[in-house]
Amino acid sequence: MERKIPEHIGIIMDGNGRWAKQKGLSRSEGHKAGANVFRRICEYAGEIGVKYITFYAFSTENWRRPPDEVNALMNLFRAYLDEAEERQEENLQKGMRIHFIGHREGVPTDIIERFETTERDSRAADKIDVNIAINYGGRLEIVDAVKKIAQKVKDGEINPEDITEQDISDNIYTAGQADPDLIIRPSGEYRLSNFLIWQSAYSEFWFSDILWPDFTEADLDRAIDDFNNRNRRFGGV
């Protein structure tokens, strides 16, 4: 049987802090190690034919972490965005079109400006769409979609009784993209943690005890091989 590559993969990048603790390092060092893995997995996914990949980088709940850790993460995002600008041509050659999904309110202004620059510079790429979820919450995403639809009702563009599931899908952050076929969570946790709540209705899940900084291309291949052994019936027989 031909190996099927999931069209869209979602990844919850978890375990950076625990990895750092095991090695006697600061949590910020764990996040740096995790960022390096993100780059490798992102590029590998494009090479093997994944069309969309969504990385959970910073949730709306992560603001509750210690200020030093939050600041370190913001600086890590800055470093990544600066690097993305430096590697603009290389990223375009690799076909990586980058999107940042989540609430921009509360995110430092200079980071938002870098978001916009990176998205604009990568717009012409067409091999793989890379979604980076920062200040993201799945429930908040649905609330935002409902607000957009409610405004359309208010403006007389749509009747309440005509609202469909497709209207929700057309107004979430990943509008126009396929829903994830496969969601991967390393680090030994077995929950979604408010990630892609709407989109994951029929996703397959793959969990492992691997901490994210130890995650490799071979682990992604193992998850895809496992996905290929699933029987996806979508409610049918």
Q: Which residues are known catalytic residues?
A: 14, 62
- Structure tokens, 52: 């969309």
Residue 12 contacts residue 195 (beta carbons within 8 Å): yes
- Residue 55's nearest CA partner among 44, 69, 66 is 44
Cβ 196 vs Cβ 172: under 8 Å: no
**Cα–Cα distance measured from residue 23 to residue 141, given in angstroms and rounded to the nearest whole number:** 36
Answer for the pair 228, 1: CB distance below 8 angstroms, yes or no. yes
Residue 131 near residue 149, CB atoms below 8 Å: no
The C-alpha atoms of residue 222 and residue 89 are separated, in whole angstroms, by: 31
Are the C-beta atoms of 181 and 6 separated by less than 8 Å?
A: yes
Q: Are 41 and 96 in contact (CB under 8 A)?
A: no
Residue 144's contacts (CB-CB under 8 Å, 6 or more residues apart) are 103, 171, 172, 173
Element containing residue 101 per DSSP (H, E):
strand 96-101
